[in-house]
Structure 1
Amino acid sequence: MTPINHKKFEEVTLSTESIFQGKIISLQVDTVRLPNGNIATREIVKHPGAVAVLAIVDDRMLVVEQYRKPLERNQIEIPAGKLDAGEDPLDAAKRELEEETGYSCDTLKLISSFYTSPGFADEIIHLYVAEQLIKGEAHLDEDEFLDVESITLDQAQQYMREGRISDAKTITAVYAWQVYKLTGSF
C-alpha cells in the first residue's frame, strides 16, 4: 500500500494577521507560499469544533427547530453545539442532547467526524448516534429558543425536499439513519 502524502500541495505560512476575535470564532489572514513558489493570502475562520447527535426514540429522530440569523429563517436540525475549551466531544454530545431535548443516554457512538467548510474554516463536527434514551427536562441556554420534535425518516426526507432541513450535519445524520435502517449498522 502506497502511503498518502498529506503535504503534497502544502502551502507554507509566511505570516498570520489576526483580524477578529469573537466569543465563538476568530478570523485570520495568512500569507502563504504556494507549491509553485508564488505568494497568496488565505482568509481562515478558526472554530473550536462542535458536536451533533442523531437521537432515535421509538424509530423517530429528535430534531429542534430554531431561528438561524445568518439564514434569516427557522431551520430544523439535530441537537448540536460547540465544544467548550478542552471539552471532550463525547461529553459535549451528552451535554447538548440533554440541554436541547431533555433526553439523556448512557452511551453514544461516534458515526463520523467531518469538516464543515475546509476551504475557509477549520470547524470539525463530531456526529454521534444515541439510542435507548431517557426522557428528562431540557436546560436551554438563556439565548436559545427552540422547539423539540420527533420525526420519522420519511418526514426528515420531506423536510429536506422542502428546505426545512438544509444544514450538512442534519442531512448527514438523515443519510446515516437511512443506511442504518437498510444495513443494521452505522
Structure 2
Amino acid sequence: MSHDWPLVESRTEYETTWYDGGYDRVEQPDGTEKQYYWADLPPAVVVVAVDDNDVLFVDQYRPTIRKQCMELVAGIVEEATADATPTDAVAPHPTRESYVAAGRRELREETGFEADTVTLLEEFWTATGVLRHKRGIVFAEDLTATDRDLDDNEFLSVERVPVAEALTVARTPPANDATIEGLLLADADGHL
C-alpha cells in the first residue's frame, strides 16, 4: 500500500524546559484526517558499564512513578560545544554530542568512573506511537575511578551487580525499558 500520509497541520500545544507536546493532523490512507498526539524529547543515552565482572547500576527514586529504581546509568544527550564535538560516533542530531560522548560524561557524572572504551551498540526510536525520542545504548569498559559530578536533581547511589545477576535485577519491579534493552543488547553483542 502506497500512501505518504500528507501532513495537514502540525501544532505544538505546550512547551516545557524538558519537552514539547502537540499533535500532527494527517491524511490517512482512506482519505480521512486524524490527529496524532506526540511529545518531543531530546535524545538520551543508556550506559551498560562493566567493571571487574560487575555491571554498574544506579539506585534512585523516580518521582514520576513514585518508586525506587535500580537502573543503568542514563541521561540526556546535551548540546555539543565546539571543543566537545567528537568524531568517534554518530550524533543523534547535528547540534548534539554523540552517544559515545554523552555516555562517557553521564558515566563519570553519575558513578565517578571514566571509561577508556565506549562503544555504540544501537540507536533507535522509542515509543513511536507517542514519542519523538531517540535513544542510544552504549557499552563502557576499562573503567578508572574518578570523582562524581551529580546534577542538582540526582540523589542516587552506585550499585555493583554481578554480570550473571544483572538481567534478573533489571527485571525486578519496578523494571524499566532502557535498563532491560541495554542489557539484552550488550549480551546479544557478546559484551556480557
Q: TM-score, with normalisation over the residues of structure 1?
A: 0.87
Q: Which runs of 4+ in 1 moved over 3 A?
A: 7-10, 177-180
Partner of 2:34: 40
1:127 offset after TM fit, Å?
Answer: 0.5
Question: Percent same amino acid among aligned pairs?
Answer: 27
Correspondence 1:70-81 to 2 at 5 A: 70-81=64-75
Contact kept, 8 Å, 1:11 with 1:35, in 2: the verdict is yes
Is 2:171 aligned against 1:171?
A: no
| 1:87 correspondence with 2:96 | yes
CA 1:8–1:69: 2 relative to 1, 3 Å: farther
Residue 57 of structure 1 deviates from its aligned partner by 0.2
CA distance in 2, matches of 1:9, 1:107: 44
Using the TM superposition, give the Cα deviation of residue 9 of structure 1 relative to its aligned residue in structure 2, in angstroms: 4.9
Please report how far the alpha carbon of residue 185 of structure 1 lies from its aligned counterpart in structure 2 after TM superposition.
5.3
Q: Does residue 149 of the first structure (1) align with residue 159 of the second (2)?
A: yes
Contact kept? 1:29, 1:43, Cα under 8 Å: yes
- Which sections of structure 2, spanning at least 5 residues, go unmatched? 80-94
Alignment of 1:23-62 (within 5 A): 23-62=17-56
C-alpha offsets along residues 114-163 of structure 1, whole Å, 9 cap, x if unaligned?
22211110111110001101111110001111010110133323324431
2:8 alignment partner, SS class: strand
Q: Could you tell me whether the CA contact under 8 Å between 1:29 and 1:44 is conserved in 2?
A: yes
CA displacement 1:82-123 (0-9 Å, x = unmatched): 122322222211111100011112321111112221111011
Are 2:99 and 1:105 aligned?
A: no
Q: Which residue of 2 aligns with 1:3?
A: none
The one-letter code of the counterpart of 2:142 is Q
* Partner SS state of residue 142, structure 2: coil
Answer yes or no: is 1:63 the counterpart of 2:54: no
CA-CA distance at 1:11 after TM superposition: 2.2
Q: Quick one: distance in 2 between partners of 1:11 and 1:74?
A: 42
Report the Cα distance in structure 2 between the residues aligned to 1:9 and 1:74, rounded to whole angstroms. 45
Distance 2:21 2:183 in 1: 31
Instruction: Check whether the contact 2:112–2:145 (CA below 8 A) recurs between aligned residues.
Output: yes
Provide the C-alpha distance between the structure 2 equivalents of 1:185 and 1:158, rounded to a whole number of angstroms. 17
What's the secondary structure of 1:126's corresponding residue? strand
Separation in 1 of the partners of 2:183 and 2:130? 25
CA distance in 1, matches of 2:3, 2:147: 49
Could you tell me whether the CA contact under 8 Å between 2:113 and 2:145 is conserved in 1?
A: yes
How far apart, in 1, do the equivalents of 2:41 and 2:2 lie? 25
TM-score relative to the length of structure 2 = 0.84
2:131 alignment counterpart: 121
Q: Judge conservation of contact 2:170–2:179 (CA < 8 Å) in 1.
A: no
